[in-house]
Chain A
Amino acid sequence: MQKLRENNALMGWLMVSPLASVLLVFLVAPIIMIVIVSFWRATEFSIIPAFVWENYEFLFGSPVTYTVFLNTFKYALITWIFTVLIGFTVAYYLAFHVRSLTWQIALFLLCTIPFWTSNIIRMISWIPFLGRNGIANSALISWGVIDEPVEWLLFSDFAVILAFVHLYTLFMVVPIFNTMMRIDKSLIEAARDAGANGVQILWNIIIPLTKPGIMIGTIFVVTLVMGDFITVRFMSGSQSANVGRLISNDIALLQYPSASATAIILLITVLMVIGILLRFVNIRKEL
Chain B
Amino acid sequence: MTETTKKLSRRSVLKGATATAAFTAGSTLGAPMIWAQNIKDVTIRQFGTGVSNLNEVAQKVKEDLGFTLEMTALDTDSVTQRAATQPNSFDIADIEYFICKKVWAAGNLQAMDTTKLDNYDKIVGIFRNGKLTPDSEIAQGTAPHTVGFTTGQNGTEFVQEESGWMTLIPTIYNADTLGIRPDLINRPINNWSELLNPEFAGKASILDISSIGIMDMAMVVESMGEYTYPDKGNMTKEEIDLTIGIFTEAKKNGQFRAFWKSFDESVNLMASGEVVIQSMWSPAITAVKSQGIPCVYQPLEEGYRSWGGGLGISAALSGLELEAAYEYINWYLSGWVGGFLMRQGYYSAVPETSKAFMSENEWGYWFEGKEATDAITSPFGDALAGAGDVRDGGSFEERMGAVACWNSVMDENQYMVRKWNEFIAA
Q: Do A and B come from one complex?
A: yes
- B202 cross-chain contacts in A, Cβ below 8 A: 151
- B78 cross-chain contacts in A, Cβ below 8 A: 252
Report the stretch among A181-189, A234-242, A271-279 that lies at the interface.
A234-242
Check A238 against B77 for contact (C-beta < 8 Å). Answer: no
Which residues of A from 203 to 240 have beta carbons under 8 Å from B? 233, 236-240
Of B413, B414, B418, B424, most buried by chain A (CB within 10 Å of CB) is B424
A71–B208 CA distance with the chains assembled, in angstroms? 20
Which of B205, B256, B409, B422 is A62 in contact with, Cβ under 8 Å? B422
Majority SS at the chain A contact face: loop
Q: Tell me if B197 counts as interface (CB < 8 A to partner A).
A: no
Q: Tell me if B295 counts as interface (CB < 8 A to partner A).
A: no
Majority SS at the chain B contact face: helix
By beta carbon, the residue of chain B nearest A258 is B418
> Interface digits, B245-268 against A, CB 8 Å rule (1 contact, 0 not)?
000000100001111110000001
Report the stretch among A31-39, A128-136, A139-147, A194-202 that lies at the interface.
A128-136
Which range contains the number of A residues in contact with the other chain?
35 or more
- Total CB contacts across the A-B interface at under 8 A: 84
> Interface digits, B268-307 against A, CB 8 Å rule (1 contact, 0 not)?
1000111000000000000000000000000000000000
Check B84 against A46 for contact (C-beta < 8 Å). Answer: yes
A71 → B minimal CB distance (Å): 8
- B256 cross-chain contacts in A, Cβ below 8 A: 237, 239
Q: Tell me if A281 counts as interface (CB < 8 A to partner B).
A: no
A172–B205 CA distance with the chains assembled, in angstroms? 36
- B251 cross-chain contacts in A, Cβ below 8 A: 239
A272–B272 CA distance with the chains assembled, in angstroms? 43
Of B103, B424, B425, most buried by chain A (CB within 10 Å of CB) is B425
A251–B80 CA distance with the chains assembled, in angstroms? 11
Interface size of B by CB at 8 A reads 35
Check A132 against B273 for contact (C-beta < 8 Å). Answer: yes
Check B272 against A132 for contact (C-beta < 8 Å). Answer: yes
Instruction: Give chain A's interface residues, CB within 8 Å of chain B.
Output: 43-46, 58, 62, 64, 67-68, 71, 127-128, 131-134, 151, 154-155, 233, 236-241, 245-246, 249-255
**A–B pairs, 29, beta carbons within 8 Å:** A44-B102, A44-B413, A45-B84, A45-B105, A45-B106, A127-B268, A128-B272, A132-B272, A133-B272, A134-B272, A154-B274, A155-B258, A155-B274, A233-B261, A236-B258, A237-B258, A237-B260, A238-B208, A238-B260, A238-B424, A239-B259, A241-B424, A241-B425, A245-B424, A246-B421, A246-B425, A252-B77, A252-B78, A253-B417
